[in-house]
């Protein structure tokens, strides 16, 4: 039998994204966010998840999309991230427009990310796949949330600013 893995798919700005289900700790409904002002732009704030402080990342802001107000369909996907430096696992919530489905994607259906033609930098994706006539972009969640990447993004912002000037 062909090797396949289960993925959770979700929508951001009407596009389908997926992450491996093994990375997902839980999915929760929108809950009050305590905003953090002096922080990374895509870091929306923090929530209290049963006594734990979990940072929430807004994927729209991360992908430089239009910011939308959260409504009752907004969900937070709590994912486990392994910090490569310390080896600790920590949880991060990602805010997405809506959660869609859980799908099987076999290895052979997973294509390498094309370098161009996508809104995201290809580094953020592990690949793309076609499921039920929909294109799904598979996010490399560790890559998106590592510290190096955080610094990377800041540099991009700086670059942008300097170009704008």
Partner 1 sequence: MIIDVLKLIKELNIKESYDEKKEIIDSINLLIPQINSILKKYFVDELKHKEKKEYPEDFFDNITTDKKMLQDFIIESLEHLERAQVDIVDLEYDPTNKDKIDSIFRAFHSIKGSASFLGLKNIEEVSHELENLFSMVRDSKLRATKEIIDKILEGIEFLKNIINVITINDFNIDKIKNDFKSINIYSYISEIRGITGHKKIGEILKEEKRIDDEDIQEILLEQIETKKKFGEIAVEKEKVTEEDIKTAVAKQQEELKKFVSNYVKVSYDKLNELIDNVGELVINQSMIKQKLSNMIKDVELERILNSFEQIITSMKNIVISMGMIPIGEIFNKLKVVIRNTAREVNKIVNIQMEGEETELDKNVIEKIYDPLVHIVRNAIDHGIEMPDEREKVGKPRAGLLYIGASHRGNNIEIVIRDDGAGINREKIINKAISMGLIENSDNLSDKEVFNFLFLPGFSTKEGVTNISGRGVGLDVVKKNIESIKGKVEIESYKGKGTKFIIKIPLTLAIIEGFITKVGTNTYIFPFDIIEEIITFSDKDVTKMGDGDYMVFHRGKHIPIVLAGKVLKEMNYKTDIKDAIVLVIEYDNIPYGIAVDSVLGKQETVIKSLGILFASNPVFSGGTIFGDGTIGFVIDVEGFINSVKRKEGLNI
> Which segment (48-56, 63-71, 117-125, 130-138) binds partner 1 by CB under 8 A?
48-56
CB 151 within 8 A of CB 123: no
Q: How far is the CB of 60 from partner 1 (least distance, A)?
A: 17
CB 102 within 8 A of CB 136: no
Q: Is 29 in the site for partner 1 (CB under 8 A)?
A: no
CA atoms within 13 A on the CB side of 87: 0
Q: Retrieve residue 147's tokens.
A: 């510290």
Out of 22, 26, 53, 157, the residue judged to bind partner 1 by CB under 8 A: 53
Cα radius of gyration rounded to whole Å, the chain = 16
Nearer to partner 1, 100 or 146 (CB): 146
Rounded to an integer, what distance in angstroms lies between the CA atom of residue 146 and that of residue 130?
A: 27
Q: How far is the CB of 127 from partner 1 (least distance, A)?
A: 25
Task: Name the site residues for partner 1 (rule: CB under 8 A).
Answer: 32, 34-40, 43, 46-48, 50-55, 57, 83, 90-92, 145, 147, 150-151, 154
């Amino acid at each position: 039998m062909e090797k396949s893995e289960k993925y959770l798919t979700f929508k951001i700005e009407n596009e389908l994204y997926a992450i491996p289900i093994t990375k997902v700790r839980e999915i929760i409904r929108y809950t009050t966010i305590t905003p953090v002002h002096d922080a990374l732009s895509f870091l929306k704030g923090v929530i209290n998840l049963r006594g734990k402080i979990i940072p929430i990342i807004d994927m729209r802001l991360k992908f430089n999309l239009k910011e939308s107000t959260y409504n009752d369909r907004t969900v937070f996907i709590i994912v486990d991230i392994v910090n490569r430096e310390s080896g600790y696992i920590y949880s991060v919530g990602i805010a997405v427009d809506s959660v869609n489905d859980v799908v099987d994607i076999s290895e052979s259906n997973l294509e390498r990310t094309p370098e161009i033609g996508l809104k995201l930098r290809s580094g953020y994706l592990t690949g793309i796949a076609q499921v039920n006539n929909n294109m799904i972009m598979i996010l490399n969640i560790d890559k998106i949330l590592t510290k190096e990447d955080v610094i990377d993004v800041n540099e991009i912002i700086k670059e942008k600013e300097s170009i704008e000037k």
